[in-house]
Chains A and B, each alone.
Chain A
Amino acid sequence: GAGVSQSPSNKVTEKGKDVELRCDPISGHTALYWYRQSLGQGLEFLIYFQGNSAPDKSGLPSDRFSAERTGGSVSTLTIQRTQQEDSAVYLCASSLTRVEQFFGPGTRLTVL
């Protein structure tokens, strides 16, 4: 079966522009997570969706960051007015049982 997919794999943008990153979770997985990974760092939690419940947005670093999950499946992470410090790899993961998460390959975002 297909794993978690993310698009684009790489995104280069100019400071101040908006970007959208997409995540397709494993079919049937009710939980979806977004993380940010900076060079040489661990994963920083951003947001968590579980079924139809209100998302846990406690990790979003600023109000420029938002995410949606439509129909309990595909998710989009949007970063508005990008800054250079937003440059990182953005990882998406999905899960069916507790917290054993399956990760996508990530989107590498570079803000010039």
Chain B
Amino acid sequence: TQLLEQSPQFLSIQEGENLTVYCNSSSVFSSLQWYRQEPGEGPVLLVTVVTGGEVKKLKRLTFQFGDARKDSSLHITAAQTGDTGLYLCAGEVGGNKLVFGAGTILRVKS
């Protein structure tokens, strides 16, 4: 069983602070995705990383895929209240399927 562990499970910070969310596994993934989910809605894809060591930036969000393609991180600079939500990482496994981590609940206070 390929398991993705996310940490922390819950994060509450002030607006303007920086934060990092981690996604770790003992398995190697073909690609890894990060999603953001708001209450009452489905997850929305933020980014897909494919190459070991890859770094992608999306405005204030920076995503990194580990060299061995087993782990990933999401760093948010100068968090805003609009960043509040559940952040999920998902690794691509065989058969065009994804396995999801349990998620990190982020709350950004004004």
Task: Spell out A's residues near B (CB within 8 Å).
Answer: 4, 31, 33, 35, 40-45, 48, 50, 56, 91, 93, 95, 98-106
Apart from the given pairs A43-B100, A56-B97, A101-B45, 16 other A-B contacts in the complex at a CB distance below 8 Å: A4-B42, A31-B96, A35-B100, A41-B102, A42-B6, A43-B43, A45-B97, A45-B99, A48-B96, A56-B95, A91-B42, A99-B96, A99-B97, A100-B45, A101-B98, A103-B43
Asked if A105 contacts B42 (CB within 8 A), the reply is yes
Number of A-B contacts (CB under 8 A): 62
For residue B82, give the distance in angstroms from its CB to the closest CB of chain A: 19
Q: Is the interface of B mostly helix, strand, loop or mixed?
A: strand
Enumerate chain B residues within 8 angstroms of A56, measured Cβ to Cβ: 95, 97
Bound CA span A93–B102, Å: 18
Q: Which of B78-110 contact A (CB under 8 A)?
A: 88, 90, 92, 95-103, 105
27 sampled A-B residue pairs with Cβ under 8 A: A4-B42, A40-B102, A40-B105, A42-B4, A42-B88, A42-B100, A42-B102, A43-B43, A45-B98, A48-B95, A50-B96, A56-B95, A56-B97, A98-B31, A99-B31, A99-B92, A99-B97, A99-B98, A100-B45, A101-B45, A103-B35, A103-B43, A103-B44, A104-B42, A106-B40, A106-B41, A106-B42
